[in-house]
Homo-oligomer: A and B are copies of this chain.
Amino acid sequence: MDDNTGKTHAMRALIELRKRILSGDLPGGTRLFEVPLAEQLEISRTPIREAMSRLAEEGLLDRARNGGFIVRAFGFDDVVDAIELRGVLEGTAARLAAERGAKPDAMARIRSIVETLDDCFGDKPGEVDFERYSEFNAAFHRELAGLSGSDIIRREVERVTRLPFASPSAFLPDNAEIETFRRSLNTAQEQHRAMVTAIAAREGARAEALAREHARIARRNLEYVMVEDRSLIDSLPGLALVMS
């Protein structure tokens, strides 16, 4: 995101609007009018426009035909597709890293991240330091995105990842209560390790396949939520803006 967090009026408007969209306060399809928003946030129209323009870049708003902005509507099909897309792009990042070779220091960094993730698992089965895992899981995916050395790939991976429900951490909620989710962490960590191994061995196809399958964990968790226990929807912040 931006480091300028909250310094200017435009930044505060950006953050506030993003919050409202992500929380579902502004449902998909809602047209955003400059004047009322400016009055609500007690600033002028100019920073509002700036903020909306940035949200359009993020993919949270669409530009309307005759000017103005509309909150982008996401359905569950879109969540599935975005997760699939993340798998494809991370797969490409992994494959290219394998085929072209990753820089030694980047490989060292990602290996160290995998070690740390290992440490998040306690001795007893099912014992996981969730918060730490979540943090270093994000770090793993960030490192993976740039591992091939291609700026274009890194940018596009990070772009998809920015959609909250497509983020690698989307289904790592604060409440680690969900047994199904917790079990998936072992599989996920196996895949992290295997990806790094494949990349180091220059096995591009394997690295790509692993990354795609890795993203499928998110899809399975999504399907669990939708089919088995819809009450969980509310505890997953990334799903708040998704419309039935």
Chain A contacts to B: CB under 8 angstroms: 3, 49-50, 53-54, 56-57, 65, 77-78, 81-82, 84-85, 88-89, 92, 96, 150-153, 156, 160
Q: How many copies does the complex hold?
A: 2
Q: Which residues of B are found within 8 Å of A49, using beta-carbon distances? A: 50
* Residue among B3, B85, B152 making CB contact with A92, cutoff 8 Å: B85
Q: Which of B53, B82, B151, B153 contacts A152 (CB 8 A)?
A: B82
Cβ contact within 8 Å between B81 and A153: yes
CB <8 Å contact, B88 and A92: yes
Question: Chain A binding site: helix, strand, loop or mixed by DSSP?
Answer: helix
Complex contact B150–A77 (CB within 8 A): yes
Using Cβ atoms and an 8 Å threshold, which residues of chain B touch A89?
88
Q: Of all chain B residues, which has the CB nearest A150? A: B81
> What are the residues of chain B within 8 A of A151 when measuring CB–CB?
78, 81
Point out the residues of chain B lying under 8 angstroms from A152, CB to CB: 78, 81-82, 85
**How many angstroms between the C-alpha atoms of A82 and B155 in the bound complex?**
11
Residue pair B3, A65 in contact (C-beta under 8 Å): yes
Contacting pair A153 B92 (CB below 8 A) = no
Which B residue's beta carbon lies closest to that of A74? Answer: B152
Contacts of A85 in B (CB 8 A): 92, 152-153, 156
Closest to A95 in B: B88
A167 to B26, CA, bound (A): 35
The reply to whether B84 and A96 contact each other, CB–CB distance below 8 Å, is yes
In the assembled complex, the Cα of A204 lies from the Cα of B77 at a distance in Å of 19
Query: In whole angstroms, how far apart are the Cα atoms of A56 and B50 in the complex?
Result: 12
